[in-house]
Amino acid sequence: MRVILTSHGSTGDIYPVIALAVALQKAGHHVRFATIPHYKEEIEAAGIEFYPLCPNWEQADLSYWMGRLQKIRTPIYQLREIYVGAKKYIPEMIARMDAIMPETDLVVSSYLFPMNRGIAERHNVPFATLAFAPHVIPSPDYPPENFPSPRWLGETTRRAWNRWLWKTANAVVDRVINNCVASELRAAHLPKVRNFFSKPAGRVLVTVSEKLLRPPAAEIDPRFKWVGYCRWQSPESAEIDAEIRAFTGDERVPILTFGSMVYDNPGAWMERFVRAWPRDRKIIVQRGWAQFPQLGDDAHIKVIGKVSHDQLFKHASAVIHHGGAGTTASALHAGVPQIVVPHIGDQTFFGMEVERLGCGFRLKKNVWPEQLHSALARLAATTTHAQRAKEVRTQLLSENGPVTAVAELESFVAESKVAQASSLQSA
């Protein structure tokens, strides 16, 4: 197959797609990854052909938009902000995608850009999406996140209520997106977005562990397929590893990483943290997009730059993170207890999942500098979190998300060809 993969956003939106691209290529398929030039080097380093899309943003631009999103409390307004930011680039993005459709047998897009479905379908190319979080998967057995579904309603009434909530959520999100980009879609002769949650594509790959994160016994449309985590890590550095070992003395220490989260005044947050953190306790802080500065004594607080999570977390006694889909996956694979400090979007959901799995708990963003030490003491006060973290790691190591995803996509394309042939015969 000739496959186009496309995704936009932070590394949490890019790295799972790189993992899928590598697996598709190993299975003998030709793959191109269409995204912004900022990620070209990492994509090509993984051996994948890069196809450029606009905008040509640099790190400062990405950090700016992430900072804007973090200031918006409501998810629906965050979504609107994404499309407001993308609006002026959409015509060129559509034109660039249109140009390669004749050379394509399958398009796989991240969930947040449903207009790619219209592009693929007008070229009769099968279209699939990637969902990095399971709470966007509709079911009559649970409501959309943050909506009530009282038990006292009774099962039949509650399921009807949940269906109505998902239908309403579809309508609201569709309207928000279309209000932002309807003129661009119309100019490109593409249909409006419809059924954002319930029918985003003919096949939706849910890239989390089915055994750990799929809601038990829930009725879910068969277009949604749990494939397991698709994880890709940048190459490890022997130099960085030696630097970490020199700091830790080969002992495990807490590691704090907030990934792509942005702070207006990272120095002020670090000052608060340095004042509260005990001088006899070591910790590693990853700069991330926030660019936390080295303000404390580097004998007990070490600030480190970009490094693969798998390499970094090998040195962790616990991981403190923001609850991003990719970072949560890395922390679960590391098999160490966690403290989740949600900042935006689905991070609260992943924090709740970490609690449900028994691997750790959440801490509020506005108090983490002062309360992190006591929270770590509470985390270590019981062996339950560490034991559950090891059990979860064992389960995840038995799964192979990229290989499962490739099999699902191959099956989906084969089914699509049969359906197209049947349609032509009927005509």
pLDDT (0 to 100) of residue 112: 83
| Nearest by Cα to 58 from 79, 83, 39, 30 | 39
Higher local confidence (pLDDT), 311 or 115: 311
Q: What are phi and psi of 382, to 5 degrees?
A: -130, 150
Q: Under DSSP, is residue 56 helix (H, G, I), strand (E, B) or coil? A: coil
Domain-wise residue ranges, the chain: 2-229+400-426, 238-397
- pLDDT greater than 70 at residue 426: no
Output DSSP code: residue 139: B
- pLDDT greater than 80 at residue 296: no
Q: Under DSSP, is residue 360 helix (H, G, I), strand (E, B) or coil? A: strand
Q: What is the pTM of this model?
A: 0.95
pLDDT in tens, 43-96: 999 999 999 999 999 999 999 999 999 999 888 899 999 999 899 999 999 999
- Per the structure block, which two tokens stand in for 259? 């990934």
Average pLDDT score over residue span 335-362: 96
Lowest mean pLDDT among 113-127, 138-152, 349-363: 138-152
Question: How deeply is 324 buried, as exposed, middle or buried, from its count of CB atoms within 10 A (0-12, 13-18, 19+)?
Answer: buried
pLDDT (0 to 100) of residue 421: 72
| pLDDT bucket at 285, cuts 50 / 70 / 90 | very high
Average pLDDT score over residue span 12-41: 97
Share of the chain above pLDDT 70, in %: 99
Asked if domains 2-229+400-426 and 238-397 share a fold, the reply is yes
The number of CA neighbours under 13 Å toward the Cβ of 93 is 25
pLDDT in tens, 395-425: 999 999 999 999 999 999 999 888 777 766 6
- pLDDT greater than 60 at residue 427: no
CA–CA gap between residue 193 and residue 173 (Å, rounded): 9
pLDDT (0 to 100) of residue 345: 83
Average pLDDT score over residue span 128-154: 90
Question: What average pLDDT does the chain have?
Answer: 94
Q: Under DSSP, is residue 257 helix (H, G, I), strand (E, B) or coil? A: strand
Q: Domain spanning 238-397: which CATH class is it, in words?
A: alpha beta
- Give the Cβ contact number of residue 292 at 10 Å: 22
User: Which CATH architecture describes the domain 2-229+400-426?
Assistant: 3-Layer(aba) Sandwich (3.40)
Average pLDDT score over residue span 301-308: 95
| pLDDT bucket at 211, cuts 50 / 70 / 90 | very high
- The answer to whether 420 touches 124, Cβ cutoff 8 Å, is yes
